[in-house]
Structure 1
């Protein structure tokens, strides 16, 4: 009961952080880094880790360009533990550069067995 309330309000919930080697890229480049998963106050079983490459345009809904990673897991994240999962993704070749109106992000989501979710967003600057 208490765990359900903590999960509902995301108090002491596990967190995910995508740590990238660089946030500036060129079309066709490979983005490298790692997902850092941090345990919460209680043990949680991880179902999956997802990351999408998205484009945000002012005044429009966020558009998913492509799934960047999906990692199915069946692991328990211990309280206050930390786990690192490698990440790499090749940026599409025909991607227009970042502008004031259009930006790009890697949107990361980790899903636990009781459908608790944790999100992370990392902006990428696409250069010419």
Structure 2
């Protein structure tokens, strides 16, 4: 049991987060409704917070710009092998530039625990 605890603190077997979206292509001003899927690891862990950023990636210089950030304080115990769903809603701005070969977009999700490493997830989307 002690070995499992220390390996999860290093990120091996810790709880994971995955942003589940209904599709990959969205229109400007569209409401995106999905959910965060949290899967428990090999031990129980105390979840502290979920952060999700909408990021624009400029391929010409490989720069990233955070367009919007949202944070949820969760304060929830995730038990071993437990699955939890938390709702996610986001409305795209009417003036957001569409995706091109020079730029793309993604949601970067970060799950923070009271102890241990941070679990991250990237979900690329296309804006038309």
3-state SS of the aligned residue for 2:9?
helix
Unaligned runs of 5+ in 1: none
Query: What corresponds to 2:124 in structure 1?
Result: 123
Distance in 2 (CA, whole Å) between partners of 1:111 and 1:126 is: 28
CA deviations 1:40-91 (Å, max 9, x no partner) are 0000000001111100111232110011x31101111000000000111011
Query: What corresponds to 1:70 in structure 2?
Result: 71
Unaligned runs of 5+ in 2: none
So what's the TM-score if we normalise by structure 1? 0.92
Give the RMSD, CA atoms, in angstroms.
1.2
Query: What corresponds to 2:19 in structure 1?
Result: 18
CA deviations 1:74-112 (Å, max 9, x no partner) are 111000000000111011110111011100001100000
Contact residue 22 and residue 31 of structure 1 kept, 8 A = no
Does residue 100 (structure 1) correspond to residue 101 (structure 2)? The answer is yes
So what's the TM-score if we normalise by structure 2? 0.92
3-state SS of the aligned residue for 1:4?
helix
Alignment: residue pair count = 125
